[in-house]
Amino acid sequence: MQIISVSGGKGGTGKTFVAVNLALYLATKKKNVLLMDCDVENPNTNILLGKTDLSEFESAEISHFVPKFDENKCTKCGKCAQVCRPHAIFQIINQIPLLMQNLCTSCELCYRVCPDDAIIPSYEPLGKIYLKTIRVQDTSLDLMVGELSVGQVQAVKILERMYKKLEKLNATHKYDYIITDSAPGAHCDVEFVIKQSKYVLCVTEPTPFGIHDLKRILELSNIVQRNTFVIMNRATITDYPLNNLEKDHNTHIIASIPYDLQIMESYAQGIPFLFYKLAEEKSSSKIAIESIGQFVVQKEKSTYD
Ligand code: SF4
Ligand code: SF4
């Protein structure tokens, strides 16, 4: 099993487009593929696969522990605040503690140390995980989608549950490849996803914004010691200078996908680009997508040679 993360510092660079078409390419080669949508604040891989309605998927609710303080029982001893590592409990001396929920990791330690049973365990909905086998023409792959509920902030908790689910699923499905579509940016959700992967495919575009944010994801990957490979999307829109990008960041540009209106047409029609009937038999954009798949297969082979 190889877990490959598709990432991209900036939103809108085409990371989901690459992740979906790469997963499909591998599936067309008779590989057993799971695509994981780890952009849990804005998942949309299902839409690119032509499945707009997540209610058709098998789903599981994810809830999380939230401590509530019982004012009648609390003796204001402060022990809960002392043990809370992310400092999610704030207490003024001789006052009932206050919870800063955004910082709480739901570890339940405060509940366990409270000597007076003054913490009421409550569980609030956090999001959902969806799962479905998707068929596109005569190709199929499994799709797992994580979704954080609106108003919630602890995306990492959804990701942790997704990877636990992956462990169980893989025990029976024995996937050849897991392709993960991470969130944009270079924050802790993205770091979590990158850390689980063997290497990172960074999708960007040749613009000042694209290259600026690409450098952030390259730095993050370097910090967590994952190799990176760059995919230049919409490569023909500018000739923005890349200077010594590859050398300075110890990376390689493995594919350049030209700007292609037919990609937009495939979006509009809800057909994955790999399966979209093109005006020409072999467009350069489709060849570029296939070359990414070939790179991944070749890389797996070289791992075992
Ligand atoms: S559950 Fe853990 S992180 Fe949350 S408030 Fe309690 S001790 Fe702190
Ligand atoms: S540990 Fe329990 S009793 Fe002590 S301050 Fe916290 S909630 Fe109150």
Judge if the beta carbon of residue 114 lies within 6 A of ligand 1: no
Judge if the beta carbon of residue 109 lies within 6 A of ligand 2: no
Order of strands across the sheet that contains 58-69: 58-69, 119-136, 139-148, 33-37, 177-181, 2-7, 199-204, 227-233, 252-257
The rounded Å distance from CA 154 to ligand 2 centre is 24
Judge if the beta carbon of residue 109 lies within 6 A of ligand 1: yes
The DSSP string of 203-217 is EE-SSHHHHHHHHHH
Considering 97, 117, 137, which residue would you say is the last residue of a domain?
Answer: 117
Q: Tell me the CATH number at 93.
A: 3.30.70.20
Q: Which domain holds residue 78?
A: 71-117
Q: Is residue 14 helix, strand or coil? A: coil
The rounded Å distance from CA 97 to ligand 1 centre is 12
Does the residue 144 lie in any domain? yes
Question: How many Å apart are CA 150 and CA 41, to the nearest integer?
Answer: 8
Judge if the beta carbon of residue 84 lies within 6 A of ligand 1: yes
Structure confidence by residue, pLDDT tens digits, 150-196: 888 889 999 999 999 999 999 999 999 999 999 987 788 899 999 99
Total tally of structural domains belonging to the chain: 2
Judge if the beta carbon of residue 210 lies within 6 A of ligand 2: no
Does the residue 187 lie in any domain? yes
Mean pLDDT for the stretch of residues 88-113: 94
Predicted pLDDT at 18: 96
Higher pLDDT among residues 99 and 210, named by residue: 99
The CA-CA-CA angle for residues 294, 299, 303, to 5°, reads 150
- At 279, the pLDDT band (50, 70, 90 cuts) reads low
Structure confidence by residue, pLDDT tens digits, 239-259: 777 778 888 888 999 999 999
Ligand 1, atom nearest to 111 Cα: 6
Structure confidence by residue, pLDDT tens digits, 9-47: 777 889 999 999 999 999 999 999 999 999 999 999 999
- Per DSSP, helices labelled H in the chain are 15-28, 45-48, 79-83, 109-113, 155-173, 188-195, 208-223, 245-248, 261-269, 284-304
* Residues 269, 157 within the same domain: yes
Does the residue 66 lie in any domain? no
* Residues 233, 293 within the same domain: yes
* Residues 36, 138 within the same domain: yes
Check whether 304 has a pLDDT greater than 60: no
Judge if the beta carbon of residue 67 lies within 6 A of ligand 1: yes
The rounded Å distance from CA 98 to ligand 2 centre is 11
Does this model's pTM top 0.75? My answer is yes
* Residues 29, 79 within the same domain: no
Residue 14 has a CB neighbour count (10 Å cut-off) of 19
Residue 168 has a CB neighbour count (10 Å cut-off) of 9
* Residues 98, 218 within the same domain: no
* Alpha-carbon separation of residue 26 from 7, 105, 201, 252, 292 (angstroms): 18, 36, 15, 21, 10
* Residues 103, 233 within the same domain: no
* Sequence-separated (6 or more) residues with CB below 8 Å from residue 299: 199
Helix, strand, coil shares, percent, the chain, to 5: 35, 25, 35
Does the residue 123 lie in any domain? no
Residues 1 and 177: beta-carbon distance below 8 Å: yes
Question: How many Å apart are CA 299 and CA 125, to the nearest integer?
Answer: 40
Does the residue 6 lie in any domain? yes
- At 141, the pLDDT band (50, 70, 90 cuts) reads very high
Does the residue 23 lie in any domain? yes
Question: How many Å apart are CA 92 and CA 42, to the nearest integer?
Answer: 38
* Sequence-separated (6 or more) residues with CB below 8 Å from residue 131: 57, 58, 59, 142, 143, 144, 145, 165, 169
Closest residue CA from atom 2 of ligand 1: 107
The rounded Å distance from CA 121 to ligand 2 centre is 13
Closest residue CA from atom 2 of ligand 2: 114
Question: How many Å apart are CA 104 and CA 82, to the nearest integer?
Answer: 14
Strand partners, 35: 143, 179
Strand partners, 75: none
The rounded Å distance from CA 80 to ligand 1 centre is 8
